[in-house]
C-alpha cells in the first residue's frame, strides 16, 4: 500500500500516522530513536507491507501487469490501490479527502523536527503538488507515475502504468476492495497489540 492507505490505517492517532508515513525512510532498528508511538507506527507499516506482499489477491493484481513491469509491479499496484482508496474515499471515511489530507500535512509540518531528512526534503513538494489528494483521479495518479519513472531514470517505465490502470480498471478495483477488507481486519488486530 502507498501513503494514503498507510495514513488511513493508522486511525486518528497522529503519531502512529506519522510513523506509518515515514517508515520507508527508516532502516532496520533505527525506529528506536523516535518517540514510542511514532516507532509503533513504523512497526505497523512493516506489518502492513508484509501482509500486502504475501496476499493472494494482491498477487492477482501484480500478475496482470508483471509481463510489462517485472519487479516494479509491486510498487505500481500499491499506487493503483491508493488510487481506488482515494477515488472511493467517501466509502471509507466521513471526512472529505481534501480536508483529511490537509490536516495530515499540518501534522507533518508541526512534527517536522522528528521527520527523517529524506522526508523533510520531499515534504514541501508533496504539499505544494498535493500528491495524496491527486491519487483520486487517473490524471492525478498519472502525474505521480511520471514523477516516479523520472526518479528511476526511466528504468521502471511507470509513466505507462496508467494505461494498464484504465485497461484493468474494474478488475483492479474489485481486487482492491476484496483485499482492503482483509487488510483492515488484519490491521485492527495489529493495532490492538500496539495499544
CA quadruple 42, 44, 46, 50: dihedral, nearest 10? -170
In Å, the largest CA–CA distance within the chain is 44
The pLDDT, as a whole number, for residue 195 is 67
Domain boundaries, the chain: 3-194
The DSSP code for 154 is: T
Contact criterion met (CB below 8 Å) for 46 and 131:
no
Residues contacting residue 96 through CB under 8 Å, at least 6 positions apart: 89, 90
Can you read off the three cell numbers belonging to residue 182? Answer: 482483509
Can you read off the three cell numbers belonging to residue 76? Answer: 505500481
Grade residue 28 by pLDDT with cuts at 50, 70 and 90. Answer: confident
User: Where does residue 189 rank: exposed (0-12), middle (13-18), buried (19+ CB within 10 A)?
Assistant: exposed
**Interval 87-118: pLDDT, tens:** 999 999 999 999 999 999 999 999 999 999 99
**Interval 129-172: pLDDT, tens:** 999 999 999 999 999 999 999 989 999 999 999 999 999 999 99
Amino acid at each position: 500500500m502507498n501513503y494514503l492507505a498507510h495514513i488511513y490505517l493508522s486511525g486518528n492517532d497522529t503519531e502512529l500516522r506519522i510513523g506509518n508515513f515515514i517508515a520507508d525512510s527508516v532502516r532496520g532498528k533505527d525506529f528506536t530513536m523516535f518517540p514510542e508511538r511514532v516507532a509503533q507506527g513504523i512497526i505497523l507499516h512493516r506489518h502492513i507491507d508484509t501482509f500486502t506482499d504475501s496476499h493472494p489477491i494482491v498477487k492477482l493484481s501484480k500478475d496482470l501487469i508483471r509481463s510489462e513491469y517485472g519487479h516494479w509491479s509491486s510498487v505500481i499496484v500499491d499506487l493503483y490501490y491508493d488510487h481506488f482508496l482515494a477515488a472511493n474515499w467517501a466509502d471509507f471515511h466521513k471526512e472529505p479527502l481534501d480536508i483529511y489530507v490537509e490536516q495530515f500535512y499540518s501534522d507533518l509540518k508541526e512534527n517536522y523536527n522528528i521527520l527523517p531528512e529524506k522526508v523533510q526534503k520531499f515534504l514541501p513538494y508533496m504539499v505544494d503538488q498535493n500528491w495524496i489528494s491527486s491519487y483520486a483521479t487517473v490524471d492525478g495518479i498519472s502525474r505521480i507515475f511520471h514523477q516516479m519513472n523520472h526518479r528511476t531514470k526511466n528504468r521502471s517505465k511507470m509513466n505507462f502504468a496508467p494505461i494498464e490502470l484504465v485497461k484493468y480498471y474494474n478488475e483492479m478495483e474489485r481486487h482492491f476492495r476484496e483485499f482492503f477488507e482483509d487488510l483492515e481486519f488484519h490491521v485492527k488486530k495489529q493495532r490492538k497489540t500496539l495499544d
